[in-house]
Amino acid sequence: MMIPIMNDMIRYFHNDVRRINHALKVYDFARLIAHESGIDKETRLVIKIAALLHDIGIKEAERKYHSSASRYQEEEGPAVARTILEQYHLDEKLVDRVCYIIGNHHTYTKIDGIDFQILVEADFIVNIYEDEMKPEVIQSIKKKIFKTEAGTRLLEGMYL
């Protein structure tokens, strides 16, 4: 099921290779953190789908608001994700959870579970490189955001 969803994301972003690559990198880091954290199969599915689709609201945000600001991504993302996911006849509870994470993935005070935590950590691991963040910023992110052993180990091994 992940391959068709991945292809849907790629088709949706069309020729926006930067965003496609970002989603694929976040997906891989999220899978790695989830695996190393011993996460159960159902929760891993939420993590994988949320990772692939976490920024799916960007195109609508840019179309409607001429901005990719995080609040607009969060606002627009869940509806786009639901449209993509409806063809897979997934459990409604799973889709709701994925959409909650997508709709709040830049609002760190709303992290309320290991699935959400892992998505945020994977996104930061990728964003740190893509945004060329400075060591003091990375240290602050580590202190404020990172909670999993696997995510922290990756962050330290790659950047600190």
Residue-wise pLDDT tens digits, 24-69: 999 999 999 999 999 999 999 999 999 999 999 999 999 999 999 9
Q: What is the pLDDT of residue 22?
A: 98
Structure tokens belonging to residue 98: 């994925």
CB atoms within 10 A of CB 74: 19
- pLDDT band, residue 143 (cuts 50/70/90): very high
Q: Name the average pLDDT for the chain.
A: 97
Please give the residue range of the domain that contains residue 52: 2-159
Amino acid at 62: E
Can you tell me which residue has the tokens 């496609």?
A: 20
Q: What is the pLDDT of residue 69?
A: 95
Q: What is the pLDDT of residue 70?
A: 95
Q: What is the pLDDT of residue 102?
A: 98
d(CA 136, CA 41): 36
* Residue closest to 42 by CA, chosen among 91, 104, 81, 5: 91
Q: What is the pLDDT of residue 15?
A: 95
Q: How many domains does the chain have?
A: 1
**Residue 47 is part of a domain; what is its CATH number?**
1.10.3210.10
Question: What is the pLDDT averaged over residues 109-129?
Answer: 98
